[in-house]
Amino acid sequence: MLHNIKDNYITSVNNYIKNFDDKSFRKLAGKDFKSWPDPLEETWRLSRLGSLSRKKIEPISLDAQEPIMSKLNVVGSNTIKFINGAFRKDMSSNLPKGVSLIELNESESVTFLSKIKNSNLKNHPSANASLSCTPSIVKLSVDKNAKIEELLEIHFEGGVESSSVHPVLFVELNENSSLSIIERFNHTGSLIMPLQLIEIKDYASLNSIKVFDDSHESYNLAAHCIIMSHKSLLNSFSLIKGSQFTRSETHAYLNGTNAKLNLNGVYISGNKQHHDLTTAIYHNVEECISKQIVRGVLGGESTGVFQGKVKVAPNAQKTDGQQMSKAILISDKASANAKPELEIYADDVVCAHGATVGELDDDQLFYLNSRGISKDKARLILIKAFLLDIISESVEETLHDFIFNEAQSALSSILKNEIEEFV
């Protein structure tokens, strides 16, 4: 009986796509969505989907696109809006010169599908379900040599109870171009499955920020594929603070020499939330750099996960791959798991990883107490400093205050239950 319950969503997806042509990208993607990840599967062992698999959920209807009151934009940004997984041109801004946005046709969508299937996301539930059920695959492209100074803000919103939402976004930066984007996930539905492919071509650069702030009842299973070329640059930062369960999984392929990737993140968890940052970075050619810093703050009965893998191919000499994860527990019932991993087949590399999980430093607390600062206020100061450090390192100056304020709003909700004298 349990098996039948767990198959409900897979059946719903199959019913959703049954009327499409057998050669459509939706049907082709749906063939590979046969089950949820097994809890014994190593990459899902720390983030099990048993509770989700037993929920009765169906893909949201394409006609469920009612207007939604959005959060305010970052000052000076251009806005792109997705409601219930569908791009809404009527609610979006005009794009800067050098940036285009289209919805892929069937042939282009099949090509997109092949790129995902050639990556290690080929068996990810969001890759299969979202390509089956998305309203359309949206491509955001930056022209060759275009240096876009305006910030692009992408809102992902909507959702209803017992429904799943499937936004699919393809971001392409052509040669010698640059762009800064901030993506904000503010859904209210039961299940959100964003899928994203980023291609950064020779000499191009992207600054990317993601803020996951879905409603507390939501599950967000985000999947990202990144392909980097010669002398390309990606600075990426993710802040996870909302939803009952959020897992952001990223697979990055450094396929061009002298590519550089910074893939940082913060999760702030309280109550019974579960937040997971999972990454896999593939150094496929020589002389590339990847650096990753992840920090977590956990209160209540929350759980946090960082899984980070760096794989260095035999010909990827002179690789520099670094990972560091730190988590602070501010509740006796909270827990964090870190699983960094190196898989190295080259002999001329500089690679390292580390992970710590613990409480606030007693010596630092004692120092602040000795200066007349109360214990609770001292704890708050140290937690803010812990987050401020990585945000300052990861986020460009113009967005620093905005991201730090977003982090502080999440802190306020969990610290009220953990620190009596919250300030």
Note the pTM of the prediction, 2 decimals.
Answer: 0.93
Tell whether 346 is covered by a domain. Answer: no
Range of the domain at 242: 2-256
Tell whether 365 is covered by a domain. Answer: no
Tell whether 26 is covered by a domain. Answer: yes
pLDDT at position 236, please? Answer: 97
Tell whether 218 is covered by a domain. Answer: yes
Tell whether 375 is covered by a domain. Answer: no
Taking residues 105-132, report their average pLDDT.
94
Starting at the edge strand that comes first in sequence, how are the strands of the sheet with 151-158 ordered?
86-87, 77-83, 151-158, 178-187, 205-212, 233-240, 260-269, 289-298, 319-329, 349-358
- Assess whether pLDDT exceeds 60 at residue 371: yes
How many domains would you assign to the chain?
1
Tell whether 84 is covered by a domain. Answer: yes
Contact 268, 414 (CB under 8 A): yes
Tell whether 17 is covered by a domain. Answer: yes
pLDDT at position 257, please? Answer: 97
Tell whether 243 is covered by a domain. Answer: yes
- Assess whether pLDDT exceeds 90 at residue 146: yes
SS3 266: strand
Handedness of CA 14, 17, 18, 21 (dihedral sign): negative
Per-residue pLDDT reduced to its tens digit, 20-52:
888 899 999 988 888 899 888 899 999 999 889
pLDDT at position 267, please? Answer: 96
Measured distance CA(68)–CA(81) in Å, rounded: 10
